Amino acid sequence: MAPTRGPRVKKGLLERLDSGEVVVGDGSFLLTLEKRGYVKAGLWTPEAVVEHPDAVRQLHMEFLRAGSDVMQTFTFSASEDNMGSQWEAVNTAACDLAREVADKGDALVAGGICQTSLYAHHKDEVRIKKLFRLQLEIFARKNVDFLIAEYFEHAVEAVWAVEVLKESGKPVAATMCIGPEGDMHGVTPGECAVKLVKAGASVVGVNCQFGPWTSLKTMSLMKEALQAAGLKAHFMVQSLGFHMPDCGKGGFLDLPEYPFVLEPRVATRWDIQKYAREAYNLGVRYIGGCCGFEPYHIRAIAEELAPERGFLPLASEKHGSWGSGLSTHTKPWIRARARREYWENLRPASGRPLCPSLSKPDA
User: Is residue 290 part of an annotated ligand binding site?
Assistant: yes
User: Is residue 247 part of an annotated ligand binding site?
Assistant: no
What is the Cα–Cα distance from 199 to 140, expressed in whole angstroms? Answer: 20
The confidence score (pLDDT) of residue 68 equals 98
* Helices vs. strands in the chain: H and E counts, helices first: 15, 8
The confidence score (pLDDT) of residue 8 equals 61
The string of DSSP letters for 107-173 reads -EEEEEEE--SSTTTT--HHHHHHHHHHHHHHHHHTT-SEEEEEEES-HHHHHHHHHHHGGG-S-EE
> What is the chain's mean pLDDT, rounded?
96
Tell me: pLDDT of 9 over 70: no
The model's confidence at residue 282, banded by pLDDT at 50, 70 and 90, is very high
Q: Which of these, 134, 58, 32, lies nearest to 89 by C-alpha position?
A: 134
User: Is residue 208 part of an annotated ligand binding site?
Assistant: yes
Burial of residue 167, with CB atoms counted within 10 A of its CB: 0-12 exposed, 13-18 middle, 19 or more buried: middle
What is the Cα–Cα distance from 317 to 311, expressed in whole angstroms? Answer: 12
Global confidence as pTM? 0.97
Given a contact cutoff of 8 angstroms between Cβ atoms, the answer to whether 146 and 110 are in contact is: yes
What is the Cα–Cα distance from 148 to 166, expressed in whole angstroms? Answer: 11
Tell me: pLDDT of 3 over 90: no
Q: Which of these, 240, 269, 218, 210, lies nearest to 67 by C-alpha position?
A: 269
Dump pLDDT digits (tens) for 97-149. 999 999 999 999 999 999 999 998 889 999 999 999 999 999 999 999 999 99
DSSP state of 2: P
